Structure 1
Amino acid sequence: MKELEDISQHLHDRISSLRRVLDLSVAELPQNKIKKLGQELHVLGELLEEFEKCVDQQKEQLGHLKELEASFQSNLEEVQHMRDNIPSHMPRKKSPANEIEAVVSQKAEADTQVVPPQHGKKTNKSYVREMDIITMPEFESIPQYMKGRVSYDLLNAAVQSINTAVAAKYKIVHQSVKTLNSHSRKLYQRFKEQETKDTKGQFFVVEDDIREFTQMKVDKRFQGILNMLRHCQRLRELRGGGLTRYMLL
């Protein structure tokens, strides 16, 4: 910008000089004056060409700046969109360390109850499988007819409710019957009666478990949510004995 101002000022001075010379053109000028006037016009022409080059360069730089501004604005909008749409449920990858932490956490919770010490490999039995939350790409892959009005957050809230039911059920299953109260013993007996050879080593719940341990309504929308979870390979159904068992994958 300073360079353009200097050139502009220089052109202005040259043009003022030429105007003064032209004002004197009414009088007859010596040959050397006419020659000088020609030289001034030639220099002025070169300055104008240089000025035009500078203007073109400034236009080119301005174009680049506008492109950078547009790119920056696009990035800013993307960042704002991500900030405004951070999912409340973040995916996480299970690892042996996480499983150990889950065992320790459950063991600490169990220690708060009056339970006689048990012998054997208690920690292995205390492990409970947990369903991973649905990621946004997985949610977007679900057909629209299957999703209906179920939102991403609502679907993952259902995942958490099912995990809650699974954890509560198997906490009872893993405890000694002698430590259970009357209601828990009835549940324990029901859980055992629902097991089959196909469920051995697997984790599953039935609709009664959802009603027992969560606030989620087991209705038509719940069945739609189960369809989506099957689509995302989070669980599968195992029918038999008049029951539908939802087994975690």
Structure 2
Amino acid sequence: MRELEDINHHIHDRISSLQRILDLSAVELPQNKVKKLGQELFGLEKLLEEFEKCVDQQREQLTLLKGLAEASQKDLEDVQHMRDNVPAHMPRRKEPAHGTCEPVRNQSEAAAVAQPQNVKKISKSFVRELEFITMAEFESIPQYMRGRVSYDHLNAAVQSINTAVTAKYKILHQSLKTLSSHARKLQQRFKDQETKDTKGQYFVVEDDIREFTQMKVDKRFQGILNMLRHCQRLRELRGGGLTRYMLL
């Protein structure tokens, strides 16, 4: 702003100087004065041309800055919208822990992993969890299967199952002497429910859901399990009067 004022003063001074020379034009000027007047006019003309170029450049920069301001405002509104609409359950991809089985994504892979000879030793510090359902996966579920279950309700069920899995395997991996009487009974029950087909796998049964979560194990829950099987999060393994829900 200061530079613009300086340029304005400079041009004003040059014009004032020329005006004084012109005021004296009634008197015949010496040749050297006429030459100086021409030089002053030429210099002023060049100065005005440079000034116009600067004004044009500043106008272009102003247009560019307005565009950037509009884009920034839109980005701000988008970020605000995302912040105000963060899903209650964010889908995530977890890398398999060292020494654990790779995630299974189809029935043939699930069958292969289920074979004892292909099972790797599972680290006790790792507990597999179901990945949350993405919106694209939810929309791929047939409407008749979804019923009135919403996207948030389905992922709330995923969270409850993960809670049950974590609680179950925490007890299962603990030393017997560190457990309470009730926890010891649970640990023995968990071990009794294992078979050669569940070795190295993570699973829960309906009693685990009742034990560790507030979720109702009812007809609606069975519908949710169907949706999770459709999204390849679970598979069923029946035997010994139990239905085991195997995590994929």
Identify the TM-score tier after normalising by the shorter chain.
Answer: 0.5 to 0.7
Separation of aligned partners in 1, 2:189 and 2:226: 28
Alignment TM-score, normalising by the size of structure 1: 0.59
Separation of aligned partners in 2, 1:47 and 1:174: 87
Contact 2:233 2:247 in 1 (8 A): yes
Separation of aligned partners in 2, 1:31 and 1:225: 104
Separation of aligned partners in 2, 1:35 and 1:223: 102
Aligned to 2:18: 18
**Residues 202, 22 of structure 1: CA spacing in aligned structure 2 closer, same or farther, 3 A cutoff?**
same
Aligned to 1:150: 151
Aligned to 2:95: 93
Aligned to 1:52: 52
Aligned to 1:217: 216
Separation of aligned partners in 1, 2:240 and 2:8: 95
Separation of aligned partners in 1, 2:21 and 2:13: 13
**Residues 128, 158 of structure 1: CA spacing in aligned structure 2 closer, same or farther, 3 A cutoff?**
farther
How many equivalent residue pairs? 213
Aligned to 1:247: 246
What root-mean-square deviation, in Å, do the aligned CA atoms of Structure 1 and Structure 2 show?
4.5
Deviation string 1:101-142 (CA, Å, 9 cap, x unpaired) is xxxxxxxxxxxxxxxxxxxxxx979778421442xxx51331
Return the offset for 1:13: 1.1
Residue 151 of structure 2 aligns to which amino acid in structure 1?
V
Separation of aligned partners in 1, 2:128 and 2:37: 93
Aligned to 1:238: 237
Task: Name stretches of at least 5 consecutive residues in structure 2 with no aligned partner.
Answer: 101-120
**Residues 70, 225 of structure 1: CA spacing in aligned structure 2 closer, same or farther, 3 A cutoff?**
farther
Identity of counterpart residues, as a percentage? 59
Aligned to 2:4: 4
Contact 1:128 1:166 in 2 (8 A): no
Aligned to 1:139: 134
Separation of aligned partners in 1, 2:36 and 2:29: 10
Matches within 5 A, 1:109-124: none
Return the offset for 1:215: 0.4
Which structure features the higher share of helix residues? 1
Residue 53 of structure 1 aligns to which amino acid in structure 2?
K
Task: Name stretches of at least 5 consecutive residues in structure 1 with no aligned partner.
Answer: 99-122
Query: Does the residue aligned with 1:142 lie in a helix, a strand or coil?
Result: helix
Separation of aligned partners in 2, 1:23 and 1:220: 104
Separation of aligned partners in 2, 1:163 and 1:55: 65
Contact 2:203 2:245 in 1 (8 A): yes
Separation of aligned partners in 1, 2:66 and 2:128: 51
Separation of aligned partners in 2, 1:58 and 1:173: 71
Query: Does the residue aligned with 1:131 lie in a helix, a strand or coil?
Result: coil
Return the offset for 1:16: 1.9
Aligned to 2:204: 205
Return the offset for 1:48: 0.5
